[in-house]
Amino acid sequence: MSELTRIPAPDGLAPAAQYSHVAMGTGTFVAISGQLALDEDGKLVGEGDAAAQARQVFENLRRALAAAGATFDDVVKLTYFVTDMAHMPAIRVARAAHIPDDRLPAASAVQVASLVRPEFLMEVEAFAVVAP
């Protein structure tokens, strides 16, 4: 694990709610592709259920991070792509199961017209920094 610094409220910026404005570290940069609510067999988990999809997405992120020798402690940025901003509370609950409020990375949330398949409600990508 690399040493990461998170700055939720830099001078002159409003305090961040549910993210840090700045997250930085030294080490190897890891990019995790957007994860969808697919199980290990490629089957959709939670059709029409934002909470179930969010749990699966974060489990997939955890597995992808582990493959790179990283954990959620190493994540410096999350990007949420959602088909409806109403899914964000479910994402926050799933995220909280993996990332405590005092370790929140930088984040962006974008509402999109659709994802690669219409049954997907969200996609989440991650950037992490791991110790060399």
- Whether the pLDDT of residue 1 is over 70: the answer is no
- Whether the pLDDT of residue 105 is over 70: the answer is yes
Copy the structure tokens of residue 14: 């409003």
Residues 9 and 15: their CA atoms lie apart, in Å, by: 5
The answer for residues whose C-beta is within 8 angstroms of residue 86's C-beta and 6 or more apart is: 50
User: What's this model's pTM, rounded to 2 decimal places?
Assistant: 0.90
- Whether the pLDDT of residue 66 is over 80: the answer is yes
Task: Please state whether beta strands 106-111 and 75-82 pair in parallel, antiparallel, or not at all (unpaired).
Answer: parallel
**Residue 127 region by backbone torsions, left for phi larger than 0, else alpha for psi between -120 and 50, else beta:** beta
pLDDT band at 2 (very low <50, low <70, confident <90, very high): low
Q: What is the pLDDT of residue 26?
A: 85
Least confidently predicted of 4-18, 32-46, 67-81, 82-96: 4-18
Closest by CA position to 76, among listed 27, 26, 129: 129
Closest by CA position to 72, among listed 33, 36, 99: 99
Closest by CA position to 124, among listed 31, 39, 48: 31
- Structural domains in the chain, CATH included, are 23-130 (3.30.1330.40)
